[in-house]
């Protein structure tokens, strides 16, 4: 899936890099950290700027190429990209076996409202896919209920997932609140939570036969 979330675009994706600010990483010790040493507090809250996918090709510890998403176009098929590279040229993985050079990366851009620091989470693992897919599903659902310009506020957390080796932990973007942001192309600071109000419009009373369309003449 190459579509971006509909959150207001603050940073341009036209550059050939998915990275803005420090990179956030999570490891199996259930530890979130910044790869450049930026201090992260356990109770820090982050606004999600957007989620998207990109393709990256790596050699032996070196980034070779990146394919960024283009509105309206699908990302290339990762298997077809790898088929274009002879397996003898594939880099070695940690197990010493050939590793596919092209991977689909899941990316989340975040902003910390406390100081406006921006961060990038980028990973291609199964756990990263589950975490970003679930975050995107929540954003899509809330935008349907409240409109386009809603932003989730999240904490960096973790959850269990089932694997062929038993239950393992994975990263999780724990949604703790929502904010109304921006205007068309004009992002604004995070606002207080909107007052509670009914969602949508109540449906009018409709005869059951009309609703299920089974009031058919014989």
For each successive 10 residues of the chain (218 residues), what is the average pLDDT?
Answer: 47 76 90 89 92 93 90 91 94 87 96 92 95 95 84 94 87 92 48 50 52 42
pLDDT at 216: 42
pLDDT at 176: 93
DSSP 105-151: EEEEEEEETTTTEEEEEEE-SHHHHHHHHHHHHHHHHHHHHH-S-EE
The phi, psi pair for 11, rounded to 5°, reads -120, 140
CB neighbour class for 139 (10 Å; exposed up to 12, middle 13-18, buried from 19): buried
């Amino acid at each position: 899936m190459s579509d971006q979330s509909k959150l207001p675009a603050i940073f341009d994706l036209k550059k050939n890099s998915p990275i803005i600010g420090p990179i956030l990483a999570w490891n199996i010790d259930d530890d979130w950290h910044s790869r450049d040493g930026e201090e992260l507090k356990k109770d820090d809250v982050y606004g999600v700027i957007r989620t998207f996918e990109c393709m990256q090709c790596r050699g032996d510890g070196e980034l070779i190429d990146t394919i960024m998403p283009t509105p309206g176009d699908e990302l290339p098929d990762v298997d077809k990209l790898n088929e274009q590279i002879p397996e003898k040229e594939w880099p070695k993985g940690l197990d010493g076996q050939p590793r596919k050079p092209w991977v689909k990366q899941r990316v989340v851009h975040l902003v910390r409202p406390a100081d406006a620091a921006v961060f990038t989470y980028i990973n291609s693992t199964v756990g990263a896919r589950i975490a970003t897919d679930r975050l995107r599903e929540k954003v899509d659902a809330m935008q349907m209920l409240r409109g386009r310009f809603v932003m989730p506020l999240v904490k960096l957390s973790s959850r269990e997932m089932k694997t062929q080796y038993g239950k393992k932990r994975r990263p999780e973007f724990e949604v703790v609140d929502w904010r109304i942001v921006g205007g068309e192309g004009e992002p604004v600071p995070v606002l207080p939570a909107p007052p509670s109000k009914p969602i949508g419009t109540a449906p009018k009373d409709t005869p059951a036969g009309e609703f299920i369309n089974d009031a058919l003449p014989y």
